[in-house]
Amino acid sequence: MSVDIQTLLDQVDSREGELIDLLCKLISFETPAPPARNTKDAQAFIAGYLQNLGFSIDTWDMYPGDPNVVGVLKGAGDCAYKSVIINGHVDVAEVSPDEAWETGPFTPIVRDGLVIGRGAADMKGGLAGALFALMLLREHNIPLPGDITFESVIGEEVGEAGTLDCCKRGYMADLALVVDTSDLHIQGQGGVITGWITVKSPQSFHDGTRRQMIHAGGGLVGASAIEKMMKVIQGLQDLERHWAVTKSYPGCPLGSTTINPAVIEGGRHAAFIADECRLWITVHYYPNENHEAVTQEIEAHIRNVANADPWLKDNHPTFRWGGKSMIEERGEIFPALELDPSHAGIKLLASKYEMVTGEPAILGVSSTVSDGGWFGHEGIPAAVFGPGKLRHAHSINEQVSIQQLKDYTKIMIDFIAAWSSTPR
């Protein structure tokens, strides 16, 4: 380790107050999603911070009041050195009015070695540490021959894929680090997709005709869409159990492939036989799977269920998968991300973790999802790596350890300097 870099690592300790102040400033911006459409001021602050460090700034609205911000620091190495994307989301989990916060979710508290406030763990701690690392590197004129791209995106909490929009806008790199909640583990992730399954009758019937549908000799061929959806749910449960027996992935608890019947809507009025029923499901799948194949498997299974039913065989359920926003479309996709432990960037990050903490790095699979999967989806090697414990994310009095935040910042300083100096 060079003397210059060691000096920077020491400054993380001596300038701890500045790092904490930066995190508290980010927490103070009220950016919960939902309701969303509230990140403009926070993004302007981050854009200004990056611009002061010499980054060129690109910003565009994903939705009114919710802009993406990308800062690019072109390396001096004329594309001969490795590039990196540092990615984080500025939106935070929603806050219910009745939550018992000690002060308020956006009035941060610094106490007992912790910073407390909405977003401390998920994931303004990661944003603060990465920004502070870049500030120290630039302040001390550490050579950075490779390109560095910093993405502060919106919408992660509600599936709005600000990160995908950055990829589609042309931002690429040799490695992407998503600085989301991982307890400083280096992680891949499984994937998630939501879907709507709809059972619909071609006709509507008065509830007084129900006797004719269900008793011998009634002569009326019809059905309640709600009751037929019960068969669909049973079919989904059968498939979920089959997956638990037949599928596995290293580092994932057995049975992590789940199909959650999250919301059901049906019927129109007590005087009608329910002529439509809609089921909103959430599907989790393993890192080596993709949502296209998983949804095809579900559809094929439910078609078989329908074909075994005398009414459903002529009135097959329909499917609508994913979406670009849980707010706008009531749907989302988070692609899976397979971590490659042999990738030079992952090996370097693990070595810097061990150098700073004195412990071997933990490589694994997150039990939740982040924007990391969009990089894998677009062919960019990536990992999720950030401070904060998942059990504190989305929680009342959300918090992050100051010591872990400092360790993270040190690791990022050393990693960025080393990776940016690695020849292609």
Buried b (16+ CB within 10 A) or exposed e, 112-148: eebbbbbbbbbbbbbbbbbbbbbbbbbeeebebbbbb
Tokens of 235: 């079919």
Q: Tell me the Cα Rg of the chain.
A: 25
pLDDT of residue 217: 85
Distance CA 305, CA 286 (A): 24
CB atoms closer than 10 angstroms to residue 22: 19
pLDDT of residue 2: 54
Q: Is 165 an active-site residue? A: no
Q: Is 151 helix (H, G, I), strand (E, B) or coil?
A: strand
pLDDT of residue 375: 98
- Considering the candidates 91, 157, 180, 240, report the single residue annotated as catalytic: 91
Question: Would strands 186-189 and 318-321 be described as parallel, antiparallel, or unpaired?
Answer: unpaired
Q: Is 91 an active-site residue? A: yes
Peptide bond into 35 cis (omega under 30): yes
The domains of the chain, with CATH numbers, are: 3-189+337-420 (3.40.630.10), 191-321 (3.30.70.360)
pLDDT averages per 10-residue partition of the chain, 424 residues: 82 98 98 98 98 98 98 91 98 95 96 98 98 97 96 98 97 98 98 98 91 84 94 98 98 96 96 96 98 98 98 97 96 98 98 98 97 97 98 97 98 98 95
pLDDT of residue 3: 58
Query: Against a cut of 0.85, is the pTM above it?
Result: yes
Distance CA 88, CA 177 (A): 9
- Considering the candidates 66, 147, 156, 174, report the single residue annotated as catalytic: 156
271 residue type, one letter: A
Distance CA 298, CA 313 (A): 16
| Beta pairing partners, 325 | 331
pLDDT of residue 76: 87
Strand ranges (E), 222-315: 259-266, 276-285
H/E stretch holding 63 reads strand 56-63
